[in-house]
Chain A
Amino acid sequence: MSMRRREFIPLAGTAAVACYMGFRGKSEEKIPDGPAGRSAVSIYKCKSYSDDLADKILAGIQSCGLAVKGKRVLLKPNLVEFDSATVVNTDAAVIAAALEVFRKLGAAEVRIGEGPGHRRDTYDLAEDASYRKTIPRFDDLFVDLNRDDVSAVRGFAGEAEMYFPHTALGADLIVSLAKMKTHHWAGATLSMKNLFGLVPGAVYGWPKNKLHYIGIPESVVALNRQFRNTFAVVDGVVGMEGNGPIQGTPKQSGVLVMGRDLVAVDATCCRIMGINPEKIEYLKMAADIGHLHSSRIDQRGELVRAVRTDFQLIDDFRDLRLEVVEA
């Protein structure tokens, strides 16, 4: 009667205890130093979505040394739910600003694509999130990644084949426009986990239960190994705390966090949220592809301690709280 821990995780809400245990992290483990060199992560204060977001995104891209000219860019927001009254989705203003900046920097093409995990009606979701109203010619730029053409790739997380949308496979650069949110399974959902939306629902369903069976942390890391040409812009202007990623409450944190190393960006976001990134399972597992330790991250713009705003955590995740204020 053998059953691996991760097999319990997706049982449609069964195995709550196993899920809980799965994401606690083994805090005593030695975490690798990561790849050679250091990673730049930019933090810019933004009081509201009326600030000049484009200026800040441009500054973040330049301070992280990202080359954009001639690239086919896919902007990947976090579009989750019909809930315009709250903060579940990446704000439309952030996407519009990123679109403007990547075009200005000479991208050959900029598309916007998303494959929501639960809801089928992506265009109506985009309408409800004000994307169509805010982003000029949105329908011409947008691809529903759940229902795009697909091709198989080999070697994803030990699977014989895994299917991905052509729009993602053909992009030279994928920009994860994530929302800064707590997550009731993973602890936090940021730029790395946002890549779940690259997995096509037409093949894997709504939700993409296959990823749960591979394991949520394992899938997050595998997606980030699969798609290496990435950049992160995390919308923490207003994030979500408590029972995220859907039912939490708004949290004004007033920042945009950017960088080419998504592990370093997410680790930095965690520190801003008052979460210990070394206790987030997928970040630990990704420590060979990016920098988790603050000593290997060059902070640009604001310092973490200047913008740290502790996010409320559900009871099951209280021990993720970062006690020491890090630079």
Chain B
Amino acid sequence: MSLQSRLDFLLRVQNADGGWGYFPGKQSWMEPTVYAMLALQGCTEGRSAVDRAWRLLLSWQTPDGSWRPGTAVQEGTWVTALGVLAACGRNSLDGVGTRGIGWLMDQSGQESRWTVRVMSYFHFLKTDVNVNHRGWPWRPGTSAWIEPTAITVLALKKSMEKRRDGSVASRVREGEELILSRRDHDGGWNSGNPSVLKYDLPSYPETTALALLGLQGRSRQELAAPMKTARQFYGDCKSSLAKAWLTIAFRCYGEAVVEAGEFKGNPDILLCAIQALGSASGNYRLLKTGAIA
């Protein structure tokens, strides 16, 4: 029931342009649109809604292959990874998806530029993080962060389920290494780095869940501590969105998790879509992936 009520809500609040806003009646954005599409995929009554959303997504892809984050924004950003995920879900990797992957392959955090690496190597630059791994930024020309890196790694892994590519596999490995290298002292992940100046930063439940999704296929031993931290978060975190992401992560790892409660009409569309994806009979499997060969 909780899944169906969420899917019904998503169908009710789809915008006329085919997309979803973060809240009903607001501008369409890539992020809620992709997650709503994934949540509705395979559901008979959602077929035409998903097709309309896909057409909108196609109109948002820029000539360089990137995706714009929403109706009003012109430049491509990290949401390109979501475009690739949606393309994988629709078996549309050729053309649209491939151009998105090409754009993602050209992006990396500014901290991994060779100038920074050289300066770090010779100790001209004191760094709190390992700058040798290339991750992904929120926007071109800025630093790599855990969330966009994890989502991109996940999207690229999904793409390799359809089509193996050595250079993509290599970037995926780097992305995984970046995520692993930035783990916090408490076992989970903060948004960017484990410390600022000499102070440790606490990890966040949502970032920890996304990092775990990006690291699917790594050894259980490597992920034992993060899984333990995630389990603690699941017990006591106050963020519904974080709990929804943790639920998806646990399901993808085959771990037992409690079904989300009944939908209570919260107008947060992104949250609703993520909760629907994480339902026991939801489409979390679209975010499940394995190790890269």
Residues of A at the B interface (CB closer than 8 Å) are 1, 3, 7-8, 10-20, 82, 118-121, 123-125, 127-128, 144, 147-152, 161, 163, 184, 202-207, 209-210, 212-213, 243, 247, 314, 316
Contacts and interface: CB of A to CB of B under 8 A. Distances in A.
B128 A202 contact: no
A148 B147 CA distance: 21
Contacts of A161: 74
Contacts of A204: 138-139
Contact of A150 (B27, B128, B143): B27
Contacts of A128: 238
A125 B129 CA distance: 29
A150 B73 contact: yes
A213 B126 CA distance: 18
B142 A14 contact: no
Given A184-B197, A207-B191, A12 B129 contact: yes
Interface stretch (B57-65, B92-100, B107-115): B107-115
B170 interface: no
23 contacts: A3-B116, A11-B109, A12-B129, A12-B144, A12-B182, A13-B127, A13-B192, A14-B111, A14-B120, A14-B126, A14-B127, A14-B129, A14-B193, A16-B127, A124-B238, A125-B239, A128-B238, A147-B26, A161-B74, A203-B77, A205-B148, A206-B191, A210-B142
A20 B238 CA distance: 34
Nearest to B27: A149
Interface of B: 21-23, 26-27, 29, 31, 69-70, 72-74, 77-78, 109-111, 115-116, 118-120, 125-129, 131, 137-139, 141-145, 147-148, 182, 191-197, 199, 201, 204, 206, 237-242, 266, 268, 270-271
A209 B22 contact: no
Given A12-B182, A202-B31, 18 more contacts: A3-B116, A7-B110, A10-B143, A11-B127, A13-B129, A13-B195, A14-B193, A82-B238, A120-B206, A121-B206, A124-B238, A127-B238, A144-B23, A150-B73, A205-B137, A205-B138, A206-B138, A207-B192
Given A151-B72, A213-B142, A12 B193 contact: yes
Contacts of A152: 72-74
Contact of A124 (B29, B70, B127, B240): B240
Contacts of A243: 199
A14 B22 contact: no
Given A1-B118, A123-B268, A243-B199, A15 B127 contact: yes
Nearest to B112: A11
B208 to A, nearest CB: 13
A8 B239 CA distance: 32
Contacts of B144: 12
Closest 9 CB pairs of A and B: A205-B138, A13-B193, A147-B22, A14-B127, A11-B111, A12-B192, A121-B239, A121-B241, A209-B142
A212 B142 contact: yes
A130 to B, nearest CB: 12
Contacts of A13: 127-129, 192-196
A124 B241 contact: yes
B232 to A, nearest CB: 14
Contacts of A11: 109-111, 116, 127, 129, 131, 143
B40 to A, nearest CB: 20
A206 B147 contact: yes
B204 A118 contact: yes
A223 to B, nearest CB: 18
A135 B285 CA distance: 41
B238 A209 contact: no
A123 to B, nearest CB: 7
By secondary structure, the B interface counts as: loop
A144 B241 contact: no
Which of B26, B239, B270 has the most chain A CB atoms closer than 10 A to its own CB? B239
B115 A15 contact: no
A10 B191 contact: no
B142 A10 contact: yes
A14 B112 CA distance: 11
A34 to B, nearest CB: 32
B271 A209 contact: no
A14 B125 contact: yes
A17 B126 CA distance: 7
A247 B206 contact: no
A205 B137 CA distance: 9
Given A120-B206, A147-B29, A14 B116 contact: yes
A144 B120 CA distance: 39
A202 B144 CA distance: 16
Contacts of A127: 238
Contacts of B141: 213
Given A11-B111, A11-B116, A149 B72 contact: yes
Contacts of A1: 115, 118-119
Given A82-B239, A124-B241, A203-B69, A12 B109 contact: yes
A16 B197 CA distance: 6
Given A124-B238, A210-B142, A147 B23 contact: yes
Which of A123, A149, A204 has the most chain B CB atoms closer than 10 A to its own CB? A149
Nearest to B190: A118
A19 to B, nearest CB: 8
Contacts of B138: 204-206, 209-210
Given A82-B238, A205-B138, A209-B142, A14 B69 contact: no
Contacts of B27: 149-150
Contacts of B270: 147
